[in-house]
Structure 1
Amino acid sequence: MSQVSLPESFHKDLPLTALAPMQDVTNLWFMRVIAHYGSPDYFFTEYFRVNETSRLNPGILSAITENDTGRPVFAQMIGESIPDLVRTAKELCGYNIAGVDLNMGCPAPRIYRKKAGGGLLLSPKKVDRILAELRQAVCDRPLTVKMRVGFENTDTFYEILDIINRHNIDLLSLHGRTVKDMYHGAVKYDLIAEAVKRVHCPVLANGNINSATTAISVLAHTGAAGVMVGRWAIGNPWLFNQIRQALRGEPLTPVPLVEVRNYIDRLWQTPTAPNVPERARLGNLKMFLNYIALSVDAEGHFLRLMRQTQTEVEMFKLCDRFLLTDMTKTLALAPAI
């Protein structure tokens, strides 16, 4: 069975960009927010949990059915029960999806202990069976995989890459850390480069793509078909546009801090905001601001004070103080790694 062609990139002359799937972040609303600042080529949903009793989560499904960003959306599944993964994949193919993505990298202990997500990397034979069945079920759409370079070490890495080839996977998103690394430590871009050489499908390099400069150096180092960006796009939603500017050799447009202040307003105005208590809304905003704060103030004062705020009024006074007092200031760009 030959590979299925991927959705055409919006920027045909450039390497691909994708927003990484992030649980409780990459919902329809956040995809729309990102699209406002410059969409990636591909979106991926939060994962649909798959087990014997699972049904398609309506909230996650809306990121597919109501998506008006004009970009392809891949539906991600997480689970290890083969019949249920097949059932869910077939159901998902009834919707306007760009493809079905299998999560083989989630580092959350509650997931990998159930032998799902990153836990699958411990069992290449199981991966082989899953991908064989999914390839049969998803025959007219791309079947894609998101994984890490291993569980605790990279012992199964090459074996799993060969399994990916055997089942004609159409796209591999590879995070260059192990499951046990979580989000810490150096990203093994050398192993992403090895994967690029070994697999027959395009590879998206993932892991600490914190700036356009980093994206350029990672693409050059790995030979990957594109980059997948996760947490750093929360802190800088302009990043996909900046990556495209850098790829074209154009100077990066600086982002005035007043624009960052507008972005924070947008993050505050979630669709469910009127029904959510202020404390919960603040908690949600702080989760996003954890990624933004150090680009605004590298010394960490904004981060520390932001975490201490108790009310909406306190929070926005603080934001105004750091973001609106000097109109010449711009968002700091993370240096290349």
Structure 2
Amino acid sequence: MSPVSLPQSLNKDLPLTALAPMQDVTNLKFMKVVADYGGPDYFFTEYFRVNETSRLNPDILAAITENDTGRPVFAQMIGESIPDLVRTAQELCTYNIAGIDLNMGCPAPRIYRKKAGGGLLKEPEKVERILAELRQAVNDRPLTVKMRLGFENTDTFYTILDIINRHSIDLLSLHGRTVLDRYHGPVNYDLIAQAVKRVNCPVLANGNIYSAPKALSVLSQTGAAGVMIGRWAIGNPWIFHQIRQALRFEPIMPVPLVEVRSYIDRLWQTPEAPNIPERARLGYLKLFLNYIALSVDAQGHFLRLMRQAQTEVEFFQICDRFLLADTTQTLALTPYSGI
């Protein structure tokens, strides 16, 4: 079966950019916020958990059905039951999705111990059967894969790349670490470059792409068709716009910290906010601030105080102290990562 054409990018003269799928982060609200700051070419949903009793998650589905950003949205699935993956893919194809994405890289132990996500990389034969069935089921939409270099080592790496070729996968997003590496240690961009040479589809390079200069370096080193960014887009939602500025040899416009303060306000405000306990809302926002704080204060004081805040008033007083005290201050282009 021949590959299916990918959706047209809004920036067709430039390498692709994509927001990585992140559980509890890449919901409809976050996609809309990121799109307003110059968002990526492609969005990917949080994963739909697939098993014999699963049904399509309505909150994740909203990221597809209510998405007015003008960007294509790929629906990501995670699971290992072939009949249920096929059933779910066919259900998802009744919606306005850009394609079906299979998660073969999730490093959460509760996922890989069930032989799903990154656990699939230990079983190339199972990957072969899954991709064969999904390719038949998703015959008129792009079928894409997100994976890592391997489970604990790279022994199955080239075998799985060859399987991807055999089943005409349309796009590969490749995180340059193993599953057991999680998010620690160096990213092996050289192996991403090897994948670019070996597979017949476009490859998105993923892993520790924290700035526009870093994105250009990774594109040069790997020859990838584009970059996929996850955690660092939480800390800097302007990053996709900055990458396009760098690719066009334009100066990267600095982001004033006062705009970062407005971004935090947007993350806080949700229609359902009055129905959610203050402590839960603070916990959710702190998940985002863990990344934002690293680009604001190199000493780590903002991060520490923000994490200790117990109330909404205290939390925003801390934000004001670090983000509004000096109107000339801007978001660091290279985040501090020493904490």
With structure 1 as the length reference, what TM-score do the two structures score? 0.99
Residue equivalent to 2:299:
299
Q: In structure 1, the residue corresponding to 2:254 is in which secondary structure?
A: coil
Kindly report structure 1 stretches of 4+ aligned residues shifted beyond 4 Å: none
Q: Please give the per-residue CA displacement for 1:89-126, whole angstroms capped at 9, x wherever unaligned.
A: 11111000000000000000000000000000000000
Matches within 5 A, 1:157-306: 157-306=157-306
How far, CA to CA, are the matches of 2:54 and 2:62 in structure 1?
Answer: 17
Partner of 1:106: 106
The separation in 2 between residues aligned to 1:122 and 1:257, in whole angstroms, is: 45
Q: Aligned with 1:46: secondary structure?
A: coil
For 2:20 and 2:270, the matched residues in 1 are separated by: 20
Q: Distance in 2 between matches of 1:35 and 1:9?
A: 14
Percent identical pairs in the alignment equals 83
Deviation at 1:24, TM superposition (A): 0.3
State the partner residue of 1:94.
94
Mapped to 1, the partners of 2:273 and 2:333 lie a distance apart of 30
TM-superposed CA distance for 1:270, in Å, is: 2.2
Partner of 1:126: 126
Of stretches 163-172 and 34-43 in structure 1, the one that deviates more from structure 2 is 34-43
Q: CA deviation at 1:335?
A: 6.7
Secondary structure in 1 aligned to 2:45? strand
Distance 2:193 2:133 in 1: 28
Structure 1 distance, partners of 2:332, 2:270, is 26
- Say whether the 8 Å CA contact 1:43–1:73 is kept in structure 2: yes
Cα offsets for 1:12-43 (capped at 9, x unmatched):
10000000000000000110111111110000
**Structure 1, unpaired ranges of 5+:** none
Instruction: Output aligned runs, 1:17-96, within 5 Å.
Output: 17-96=17-96
Letter in 2 for 1:137: A
Question: Given residue 84 of structure 1, which amino acid in structure 2 is its aligned partner?
Answer: D
Contact 1:164 1:199 in 2 (8 A): yes
Instruction: Check conservation: 2:257, 2:323, Cα contact below 8 A.
Output: yes
CA contact (8 A) 1:29 1:271 kept: no
Cα deviation code 1:272-303 (max 9, x no counterpart): 21111111111111110000002110110100
Shift of 1:207: 0.3
CA distance in 1, matches of 2:72, 2:266: 23
Aligned residues: 337
Q: Distance in 1 between matches of 2:7 and 2:16?
A: 11
Partner of 1:180, secondary structure, is coil
Please state whether the residue corresponding to 1:103 is helix, strand or coil.
strand
Query: 2:97, 2:294 → 1: CA distance?
Result: 36
**Match of 2:111, SS?**
helix
State the alpha-carbon separation in 2 of the partners of residues 43 and 215 from structure 1: 18
CA RMSD of aligned residues (A): 1.1
Question: Does the CA contact (< 8 Å) of 2:149 and 2:177 recur in 1?
Answer: yes
In 2: Cα distance, 1:302 partner to 1:10 partner: 36
Q: Letter of the aligned partner of 2:288 in structure 1?
A: F
Residues 211, 336 of structure 1: 8 Å contact kept: no
Aligned-pair CA distance for 1:218? 0.0
Residue 213 of structure 1 contacts residue 336 of structure 1 at CA under 8 Å; is this kept in 2?
A: no
Shift of 1:336: 11
The equivalent residue for 1:320 is 320
CA distance in 1, matches of 2:298, 2:226: 29
Cα offset, 1:143, TM superposition: 0.2
Distance 2:101 2:271 in 1: 27
Query: Tell me, what secondary structure is at the counterpart of 2:331?
Result: coil
Indicate conservation of the 8 Å contact 2:294/2:335, yes or no: no
1:27 and 1:77 mapped to 2: Cα distance?
15
| TM-aligned CA deviation for residue 271 of structure 1 | 2.7
> Structure 1 pair 161/283, CA: closer, same or farther in 2 (3 Å)?
same
Structure 1 CA distance for aligned equivalents of residues 227 and 17 of structure 2: 5
State the TM-score, normalized to the length of structure 2: 0.98
Report how far residue 157 of structure 1 moved: 0.1
